[in-house]
């Protein structure tokens, strides 16, 4: 490699003339120099040299002896690539779950990150673990099955990106080789001083299938070599053994035979024509990563998978069965050592699926006019439910069904995970200058998840409550065991319902609507309107009953949103910490006196009065403490305060979450009439009320993430609710 990199010749005079700008005094543009330095600072020449290492076959033997992991097969590499990014364990629905950071897309800053779906991804990783161990799943086609928009293709894309990234690391380095021959890819003698037989090594011909260099070792010696390497091999994430399977591709076999004949069987001299080189998997460069997509049957044939004859070279080599006159560039050829994705695999013509039978079970393909050729690659396909049902009903495809392992990839049924999808899509960076009001994405995600859930069989449990239970919220009367039962009785949850794509489309529509552009703000009602208007024209909803159900669920979501914003306005009104602290102190003093059967000193009259039962009940009723349970609750509060004191901690008004909520609601009730929130819907608001409303608005902006427009909208809407007498609180 040259030590110097030729810099491009910039025609700065032409640039300034074309752009109509004036060059700075002093000659070279400072911006030009700055940009060049930015580019140069991002380049890593050492890494480039590592990725383009080349050497002799015997140098490679020494490297393999020092690091046998270089010989891992595609499944072992895929599993190690996943595990290299670590994982975390947690419990969901009372089951042990593992979240693999690999699927958060650390390769593209989370651009293809997958949220939720941890159960499906655990099955996927288990598939790779089993294949890495050599338990048989390495002879199967991995089939991702699920509804449209459930991240099937995203999972495949992350696997491909992850394999590419791993091959660039030192731990994931892998190598192939080239042949050094004459310009016609022939063994041509060259004159030597000592009279020994030597062949020309003037041109380099890359192994078309990027094969493992040790495949060039004669079969007689492989067993001993692999025994020695396996004795040293210590895999970090699995217990699989290294295997050297198959023979070189037809092109390389032809070259080996010609050289062995030329050197009269001297294998060591033949290896002198081998140049081992490091390869980096790349879908764009068609090295180790392949993608096959169905097209019109008339314009597609199976040679796209296994390669085709190069008719231009038949005249040169004299036969169409000469491997040098064949292009081993089908998707299954170029994906060797890596992964091949089949998009909508079950839409393929049957002739294509036949090629996959041998590719999966025997790890071999049959190029036209050549013998079975070994391949080492992960074959992954994805399909939707109608196509899979058609496969199940097709008796002729029994062999294909037997060679596939299906993994269901459903929609999210956990609200927080669904929200993360839309937060990524509509982040502040992507919608610069626009404001998405709080709960806008939450409302859309809530509706999407509700459409995917099955009606609960437990009496008294609503679908919305089921959603909240799945999302980790506590509801009286339901334990972790009951949540687990809910999940187990609903086998099809997540396999039907609204796709995230529909939500993304409707949020996008709301962002570019006239009202949003004028106010630079999108609120939940704008998105709800878009969602509702789109139901009638939704291409995947053909059933009127389903449309009706989805509209009813939108009404449920709208009602829940109203409760949320009423609660936030209540909290904003009652956010006076001094007032809530005084209220808390009065309550605790009355509770202390009540539990200890004492009286309370009235600081105004100087007399001892009975504990303020009216105050205590007005607060306790806000969190639905029944009359029959008031003594227990008050004793619990005193015990809690005593336990804090023993730990040297002080009780504050916000220390106990339930009591804090009750205090907020009580303070709101006391202050609501003084603020006269109902007056907001009238045309006249007095100055004093306006000042109080402005304070509340600023609290909404500061504490809850609203902007001026959305805070005003929420206050007006909540005011209209109270104006019509709806005082329901959460």
Question: Which two tokens mark 283?
Answer: 């879908």
Question: Which two tokens mark 666?
Answer: 């009580």
pLDDT tier at 5 (50, 70, 90 boundaries)?
very low
Does the model's pTM come out above 0.85? no
- Looking at 194-208, 326-340, 496-510, 560-574, which range is the least confident one? 560-574
- Looking at 275-289, 529-543, 663-677, 689-703, which range is the least confident one? 663-677
| Residue 573 to residue 591: CA distance in whole angstroms | 26
State how far the alpha carbon of 587 is from the alpha carbons of 577, 614, 650, 660, in Å: 15, 10, 16, 12
The percent of the chain in helix, strand and coil, each rounded to the nearest 5, is 55, 10, 35
The domain ranges of the chain are 12-43
Question: For 98-149, what is the HEC assignment?
Answer: EEEHHHHCCCCCCCCCCCCCHHHHHHHHHHHHHHHHCCCHHHCEEEEECCCC
- 391-401 confidence digits (pLDDT tens): 888 887 888 88
Q: What is the mean pLDDT of the chain?
A: 87
Phi, psi of 700 (to 5 degrees): -60, -40
Question: Which two tokens mark 402?
Answer: 């037997």
pLDDT tier at 8 (50, 70, 90 boundaries)?
very low
- 533-584 confidence digits (pLDDT tens): 999 888 778 788 999 999 999 999 999 999 899 888 878 877 777 788 888 8
- Distance, CA of 395 to chain centre: 36
pLDDT tier at 658 (50, 70, 90 boundaries)?
confident
**Buried residues in 268-301 as b, exposed as e (16+ CB within 10 A):** ebbbbbbbbbbbbbbbeeebbbbbbeeeeeeebe
Which helix (DSSP H) or strand (DSSP E) does residue 316 occupy? Answer: helix 311-317
The pLDDT of residue 672 is 62
The answer to whether the beta carbons of residues 521 and 437 sit under 8 Å apart is yes
Q: Is the pLDDT of residue 16 over 50?
A: no
| Residue 252 to residue 249: CA distance in whole angstroms | 5
Average pLDDT over residues 83-111: 90
**Percent share of the chain, pLDDT over 90:** 57
């Amino acid at each position: 490699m040259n030590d110097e990199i030729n810099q491009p010749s910039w025609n700065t005079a032409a640039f300034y003339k074309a752009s109509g700008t004036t060059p700075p005094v002093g000659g070279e543009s400072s911006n030009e120099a700055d940009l060049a330095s930015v580019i140069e600072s991002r380049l890593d020449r050492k890494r480039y040299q590592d990725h383009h290492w080349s050497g002799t076959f015997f140098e490679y033997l020494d490297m393999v002896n020092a690091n046998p992991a270089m010989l891992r097969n595609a499944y072992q590499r895929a599993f190690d690539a996943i595990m290299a990014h670590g994982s975390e364990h947690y419990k969901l629905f009372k089951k042990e779950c593992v979240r693999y950071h690999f699927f958060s897309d650390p390769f593209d800053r989370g651009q293809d990150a997958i949220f939720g779906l941890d159960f499906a991804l655990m099955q996927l990783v288990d598939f790779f673990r089993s294949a890495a161990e050599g338990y048989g799943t390495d002879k199967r086609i991995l089939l991702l099955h699920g509804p449209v928009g459930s991240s099937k293709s995203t999972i495949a894309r992350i696997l491909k990106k992850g394999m590419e990234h791993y091959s660039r690391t030192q731990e994931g380095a892998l190598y192939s080789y080239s042949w050094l021959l004459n310009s016609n890819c022939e063994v041509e003698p060259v004159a030597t001083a000592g009279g020994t037989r030597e062949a020309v090594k003037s041109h380099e011909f890359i192994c078309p299938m990027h094969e493992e260099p040790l495949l060039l070792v004669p079969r007689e010696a492989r067993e001993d070599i692999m025994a020695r390497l396996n004795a040293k091999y210590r895999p970090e994430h699995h217990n699989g053994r290294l295997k050297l399977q198959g023979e070189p591709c037809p092109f390389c076999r032809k070259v080996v035979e010609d050289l062995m004949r030329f050197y009269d069987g001297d294998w060591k001299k033949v290896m002198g024509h081998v140049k081992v080189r490091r390869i980096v998997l790349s879908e764009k460069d068609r090295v180790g990563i392949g993608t096959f997509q169905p097209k019109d049957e008339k314009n597609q044939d199976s040679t796209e998978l296994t390669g085709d004859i190069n008719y231009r070279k038949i005249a040169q080599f004299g036969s169409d069965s000469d491997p040098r006159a064949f292009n081993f560039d089908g998707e299954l050829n170029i994906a060797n050592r890596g992964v091949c994705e089949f998009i909508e695999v079950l839409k393929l013509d049957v002739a294509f699926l036949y090629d996959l039978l041998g590719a999966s079970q025997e790890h071999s393909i049959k190029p036209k006019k050549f013998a079975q050729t070994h391949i080492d690659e992960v074959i992954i396909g994805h399909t939707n439910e109608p196509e899979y049902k058609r496969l199940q009903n097709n008796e002729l495809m029994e062999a294909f069904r037997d060679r596939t392992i299906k993994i269901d990839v459903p929609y999210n049924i956990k609200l927080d995970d669904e929200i993360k999808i839309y937060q990524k899509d509509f982040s502040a960076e992507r919608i610069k200058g626009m404001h998405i009001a709080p709960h806008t994405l939450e409302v859309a995600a809530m509706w999407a998840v509700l459409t995917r859930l099955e009606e609960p069989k437990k009496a008294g449990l609503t679908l919305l409550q089921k959603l909240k239970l799945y999302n980790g919220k506590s509801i009286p009367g339901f334990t972790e065991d009951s949540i687990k039962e809910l999940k187990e009785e609903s086998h099809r949850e997540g396999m039907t319902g609204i796709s995230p794509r529909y939500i993304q489309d409707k949020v996008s529509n709301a962002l570019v609507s006239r009202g949003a552009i004028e106010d630079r703000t999108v609120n939940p009602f704008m998105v709800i309107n878009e969602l509702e208007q789109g139901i009638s024209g939704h291409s995947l909803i053909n059933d009127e009953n389903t449309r009706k159900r989805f509209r009813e669920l939108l009404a449920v979501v709208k009602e829940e949103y109203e409760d949320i914003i009423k609660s936030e306005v209540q909290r904003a009104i009652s956010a006076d910490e001094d007032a809530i602290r005084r209220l808390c102190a009065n309550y605790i003093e009355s509770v202390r006196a009540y539990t200890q059967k004492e009286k309370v000193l009235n600081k105004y009259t100087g007399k001892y009065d009975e504990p303020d039962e009216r105050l205590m009940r007005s607060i306790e009723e806000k969190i639905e403490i029944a009359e029959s349970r008031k003594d227990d609750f008050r004793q619990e509060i005193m015990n809690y305060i005593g336990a804090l004191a023993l730990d040297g901690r002080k009780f504050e008004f916000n220390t106990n979450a339930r009591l804090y909520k009750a205090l907020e609601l009580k303070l709101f009730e006391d202050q609501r009439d003084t603020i006269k929130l109902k007056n907001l819907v009238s045309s006249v608001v007095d100055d004093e009320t306006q000042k109080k409303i402005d304070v509340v608005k600023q609290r909404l902006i500061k504490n809850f993430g609203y902007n001026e427009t959305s805070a005003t909208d929420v206050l007006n809407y909540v005011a209209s609710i109270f104006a019509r007498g709806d005082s329901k609180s959460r």
